[in-house]
Structure 1
Amino acid sequence: MVIRKEVSQRMSRVVEHNGTVYLAGIVSDDKNPDIKVQAARVLAMAEEKLAVAGVTKHDILRVEIFVKDIARDFEGFNSVWDEWVSKENPPARACIEGNMATATTLVEIIVTAAKS
Protein backbone atom coordinates (compact mmCIF):
# COMPACT_ATOMS: atom_id res chain seq x y z
CA MET A 1 0.00 0.00 0.00
CA VAL A 2 1.24 3.49 -0.88
CA ILE A 3 0.33 6.39 1.41
CA ARG A 4 0.68 9.90 -0.01
CA LYS A 5 0.55 13.05 2.13
CA GLU A 6 0.64 16.74 1.28
CA VAL A 7 -0.56 15.96 -2.23
CA SER A 8 -0.90 18.50 -5.03
CA GLN A 9 -1.45 18.15 -8.76
CA ARG A 10 2.33 18.12 -9.28
CA MET A 11 3.59 15.92 -6.46
CA SER A 12 3.24 14.32 -3.08
CA ARG A 13 5.59 15.88 -0.53
CA VAL A 14 5.61 12.73 1.65
CA VAL A 15 5.20 9.16 0.36
CA GLU A 16 5.25 5.97 2.43
CA HIS A 17 5.64 2.48 0.98
CA ASN A 18 6.76 -0.81 2.50
CA GLY A 19 8.21 0.82 5.62
CA THR A 20 10.12 3.48 3.71
CA VAL A 21 9.36 7.21 3.78
CA TYR A 22 10.31 9.39 0.80
CA LEU A 23 10.35 13.17 0.98
CA ALA A 24 10.14 15.35 -2.11
CA GLY A 25 12.94 17.88 -2.61
CA ILE A 26 12.98 20.53 0.11
CA VAL A 27 14.22 24.10 -0.37
CA SER A 28 14.19 26.93 2.14
CA ASP A 29 11.06 29.04 2.26
CA ASP A 30 13.33 32.03 2.98
CA LYS A 31 15.58 32.63 -0.03
CA ASN A 32 17.38 35.75 1.25
CA PRO A 33 19.83 34.28 3.79
CA ASP A 34 23.22 32.72 3.22
CA ILE A 35 23.88 28.98 2.93
CA LYS A 36 24.00 28.41 6.70
CA VAL A 37 20.59 29.97 7.29
CA GLN A 38 19.05 28.19 4.30
CA ALA A 39 20.63 24.88 5.39
CA ALA A 40 19.23 25.20 8.91
CA ARG A 41 15.79 25.99 7.53
CA VAL A 42 15.85 23.09 5.06
CA LEU A 43 16.85 20.63 7.79
CA ALA A 44 14.12 21.94 10.11
CA MET A 45 11.59 21.58 7.29
CA ALA A 46 12.80 18.00 6.72
CA GLU A 47 12.17 17.21 10.38
CA GLU A 48 8.65 18.63 10.06
CA LYS A 49 7.95 16.47 6.99
CA LEU A 50 9.40 13.37 8.68
CA ALA A 51 7.11 13.97 11.67
CA VAL A 52 4.11 13.92 9.30
CA ALA A 53 5.11 10.31 8.51
CA GLY A 54 5.80 9.42 12.15
CA VAL A 55 9.60 9.21 11.91
CA THR A 56 12.55 11.36 13.03
CA LYS A 57 15.98 12.34 11.76
CA HIS A 58 17.33 9.26 13.55
CA ASP A 59 15.40 7.10 11.03
CA ILE A 60 16.95 8.69 7.93
CA LEU A 61 18.60 6.21 5.58
CA ARG A 62 19.87 8.54 2.88
CA VAL A 63 20.04 12.24 2.04
CA GLU A 64 20.80 13.74 -1.35
CA ILE A 65 22.09 17.30 -1.05
CA PHE A 66 22.28 19.76 -3.92
CA VAL A 67 24.14 23.04 -3.37
CA LYS A 68 24.22 25.91 -5.84
CA ASP A 69 28.00 26.42 -5.69
CA ILE A 70 29.97 23.51 -4.22
CA ALA A 71 33.19 25.52 -3.80
CA ARG A 72 31.39 28.31 -1.95
CA ASP A 73 28.61 26.43 -0.12
CA PHE A 74 29.94 22.96 0.82
CA GLU A 75 31.77 24.01 3.99
CA GLY A 76 28.93 26.24 5.19
CA PHE A 77 26.34 23.53 4.62
CA ASN A 78 28.46 20.95 6.42
CA SER A 79 28.91 23.19 9.47
CA VAL A 80 25.12 23.22 9.91
CA TRP A 81 24.71 19.55 8.94
CA ASP A 82 27.33 18.38 11.45
CA GLU A 83 25.40 20.04 14.29
CA TRP A 84 22.05 18.65 13.11
CA VAL A 85 22.69 15.09 11.93
CA SER A 86 22.07 12.11 14.23
CA LYS A 87 25.41 11.21 15.77
CA GLU A 88 24.17 7.71 16.63
CA ASN A 89 22.58 7.00 13.24
CA PRO A 90 24.16 9.11 10.51
CA PRO A 91 22.62 8.42 7.10
CA ALA A 92 24.30 7.71 3.79
CA ARG A 93 24.56 10.94 1.85
CA ALA A 94 25.71 12.58 -1.34
CA CYS A 95 26.37 16.27 -1.91
CA ILE A 96 26.69 17.69 -5.40
CA GLU A 97 26.49 21.04 -7.16
CA GLY A 98 23.23 21.70 -8.95
CA ASN A 99 21.55 24.43 -10.95
CA MET A 100 18.61 25.55 -8.82
CA ALA A 101 15.09 26.49 -9.87
CA THR A 102 15.53 30.04 -8.58
CA ALA A 103 18.59 32.27 -8.47
CA THR A 104 18.38 32.70 -4.69
CA THR A 105 17.96 29.01 -3.78
CA LEU A 106 21.29 27.78 -2.40
CA VAL A 107 20.41 24.25 -1.26
CA GLU A 108 17.86 21.48 -1.86
CA ILE A 109 17.70 18.12 -0.10
CA ILE A 110 15.92 14.84 -0.76
CA VAL A 111 15.40 12.50 2.20
CA THR A 112 14.61 8.78 2.48
CA ALA A 113 13.85 7.28 5.91
CA ALA A 114 12.85 3.95 7.45
CA LYS A 115 9.57 3.53 9.30
CA SER A 116 9.31 0.76 11.90
Structure 2
Amino acid sequence: MTKILRLDKTERLSRIVVHNGTVYLSGLTADDKNTDTSNQTRQILETADTLLERVGADRSKLLFAQIWLRDVEDFDAMNKAWVTWLDGAEPPARATVGASFALPEIRIEIQFTASI
Protein backbone atom coordinates (compact mmCIF):
# COMPACT_ATOMS: atom_id res chain seq x y z
CA MET A 1 0.00 0.00 0.00
CA THR A 2 1.27 3.48 -0.87
CA LYS A 3 1.88 5.74 2.09
CA ILE A 4 -0.32 8.82 2.52
CA LEU A 5 1.37 11.89 4.01
CA ARG A 6 -0.92 14.44 5.69
CA LEU A 7 0.51 17.80 6.79
CA ASP A 8 -0.91 20.75 8.72
CA LYS A 9 -3.77 18.67 10.09
CA THR A 10 -6.71 19.84 12.14
CA GLU A 11 -9.65 17.76 13.31
CA ARG A 12 -11.47 18.76 10.08
CA LEU A 13 -8.84 18.61 7.35
CA SER A 14 -5.25 18.28 6.22
CA ARG A 15 -3.95 21.35 4.45
CA ILE A 16 -1.59 19.19 2.35
CA VAL A 17 -2.05 15.54 1.36
CA VAL A 18 0.59 13.66 -0.63
CA HIS A 19 -0.15 10.28 -2.18
CA ASN A 20 1.48 8.34 -4.98
CA GLY A 21 3.41 11.31 -6.41
CA THR A 22 0.48 13.71 -6.25
CA VAL A 23 -0.04 16.61 -3.85
CA TYR A 24 -3.49 17.89 -2.96
CA LEU A 25 -3.94 21.26 -1.27
CA SER A 26 -7.10 22.09 0.64
CA GLY A 27 -9.05 25.10 -0.53
CA LEU A 28 -7.00 28.22 0.19
CA THR A 29 -8.33 31.66 1.08
CA ALA A 30 -6.46 34.92 1.62
CA ASP A 31 -5.04 35.84 5.00
CA ASP A 32 -6.18 39.45 4.54
CA LYS A 33 -9.80 39.10 3.53
CA ASN A 34 -10.46 42.85 3.68
CA THR A 35 -9.10 43.44 0.20
CA ASP A 36 -10.32 43.01 -3.37
CA THR A 37 -10.41 39.82 -5.42
CA SER A 38 -7.17 40.58 -7.24
CA ASN A 39 -5.23 40.98 -3.98
CA GLN A 40 -6.90 37.97 -2.38
CA THR A 41 -5.93 35.94 -5.45
CA ARG A 42 -2.29 37.04 -5.19
CA GLN A 43 -2.20 36.10 -1.50
CA ILE A 44 -3.61 32.64 -2.22
CA LEU A 45 -1.11 32.04 -5.01
CA GLU A 46 1.80 33.03 -2.75
CA THR A 47 0.52 30.58 -0.12
CA ALA A 48 0.22 27.86 -2.77
CA ASP A 49 3.87 28.44 -3.75
CA THR A 50 4.94 28.00 -0.12
CA LEU A 51 2.88 24.86 0.44
CA LEU A 52 3.93 23.24 -2.83
CA GLU A 53 7.58 23.95 -2.10
CA ARG A 54 7.29 22.15 1.26
CA VAL A 55 6.65 18.87 -0.56
CA GLY A 56 9.00 19.33 -3.52
CA ALA A 57 6.51 20.70 -6.06
CA ASP A 58 6.00 24.09 -7.69
CA ARG A 59 3.54 25.84 -10.00
CA SER A 60 5.13 24.23 -13.08
CA LYS A 61 3.83 20.87 -11.81
CA LEU A 62 0.20 21.91 -11.35
CA LEU A 63 -2.31 19.42 -12.70
CA PHE A 64 -5.62 21.00 -11.70
CA ALA A 65 -7.05 24.05 -9.96
CA GLN A 66 -10.63 24.54 -8.79
CA ILE A 67 -11.52 28.20 -8.26
CA TRP A 68 -14.59 29.52 -6.48
CA LEU A 69 -15.48 33.21 -6.87
CA ARG A 70 -18.01 35.07 -4.75
CA ASP A 71 -18.71 37.42 -7.66
CA VAL A 72 -18.22 36.10 -11.19
CA GLU A 73 -17.84 39.73 -12.28
CA ASP A 74 -14.34 39.44 -10.74
CA PHE A 75 -13.35 36.73 -13.25
CA ASP A 76 -11.08 39.06 -15.26
CA ALA A 77 -9.34 40.48 -12.18
CA MET A 78 -8.68 36.97 -10.88
CA ASN A 79 -7.42 35.81 -14.29
CA LYS A 80 -4.99 38.73 -14.55
CA ALA A 81 -3.38 37.78 -11.21
CA TRP A 82 -3.45 34.09 -12.22
CA VAL A 83 -1.68 34.60 -15.57
CA THR A 84 0.93 36.87 -13.97
CA TRP A 85 1.58 34.19 -11.33
CA LEU A 86 1.92 31.39 -13.90
CA ASP A 87 4.71 33.48 -15.44
CA GLY A 88 4.92 31.31 -18.54
CA ALA A 89 4.52 27.96 -16.75
CA GLU A 90 2.25 25.45 -18.45
CA PRO A 91 -1.30 26.10 -17.24
CA PRO A 92 -3.14 23.32 -15.40
CA ALA A 93 -6.62 22.07 -16.14
CA ARG A 94 -8.92 24.46 -14.31
CA ALA A 95 -12.52 25.17 -13.44
CA THR A 96 -13.97 28.40 -12.06
CA VAL A 97 -17.46 28.70 -10.60
CA GLY A 98 -19.48 31.21 -8.62
CA ALA A 99 -20.00 30.40 -4.96
CA SER A 100 -21.28 31.73 -1.68
CA PHE A 101 -18.98 31.49 1.33
CA ALA A 102 -19.56 31.12 5.06
CA LEU A 103 -17.62 34.35 5.63
CA PRO A 104 -18.84 37.31 3.54
CA GLU A 105 -15.35 38.84 3.23
CA ILE A 106 -14.02 35.81 1.34
CA ARG A 107 -14.01 36.70 -2.34
CA ILE A 108 -12.12 33.69 -3.72
CA GLU A 109 -11.00 30.19 -2.76
CA ILE A 110 -8.63 27.99 -4.77
CA GLN A 111 -7.86 24.28 -4.43
CA PHE A 112 -4.80 22.78 -6.16
CA THR A 113 -3.60 19.38 -7.31
CA ALA A 114 0.01 18.98 -8.47
CA SER A 115 2.58 16.34 -9.32
CA ILE A 116 5.75 15.91 -7.32
TM-score, L = length of structure 2: 0.94
Q: What is the Cα deviation at residue 37 of structure 1? A: 0.5
| Structure 1 spans left out of the alignment, 5+ residues | none
Looking at structure 2, the residues matched to 63 and 89 of structure 1 have their Cα atoms a distance apart, in angstroms, of 13
| Structure 2 spans left out of the alignment, 5+ residues | none
Which residue number corresponds to residue 62 of structure 2? Answer: 60
- SS of corresponding position for 1:45: helix
Looking at structure 2, the residues matched to 53 and 94 of structure 1 have their Cα atoms a distance apart, in angstroms, of 24
Which residue number corresponds to residue 102 of structure 1? Answer: 103
Q: What is the Cα deviation at residue 40 of structure 1? A: 0.3
Q: Does 1:92 align with 2:93?
A: yes
Structural mapping, 1:17-32, within 5 Å:
17-32=19-34
Which residue number corresponds to residue 78 of structure 1? Answer: 79
Looking at structure 2, the residues matched to 85 and 77 of structure 1 have their Cα atoms a distance apart, in angstroms, of 12
Which residue number corresponds to residue 39 of structure 2? Answer: 37
Q: What is the Cα deviation at residue 88 of structure 1? A: 3.5
Looking at structure 2, the residues matched to 101 and 87 of structure 1 have their Cα atoms a distance apart, in angstroms, of 34
Q: Which runs of 4+ in 1 moved over 2 A?
A: none
Looking at structure 2, the residues matched to 5 and 88 of structure 1 have their Cα atoms a distance apart, in angstroms, of 26
Looking at structure 1, the residues matched to 102 and 83 of structure 2 have their Cα atoms a distance apart, in angstroms, of 26
Contact residue 63 and residue 110 of structure 1 kept, 8 A: yes
Identity among equivalent positions (%) equals: 36
Q: In the comparison of the two structures, how many residue pairs are matched? A: 114
**Structure 1's 93 and 86: CA in aligned 2 closer, same or farther, altered over 3 A?**
farther
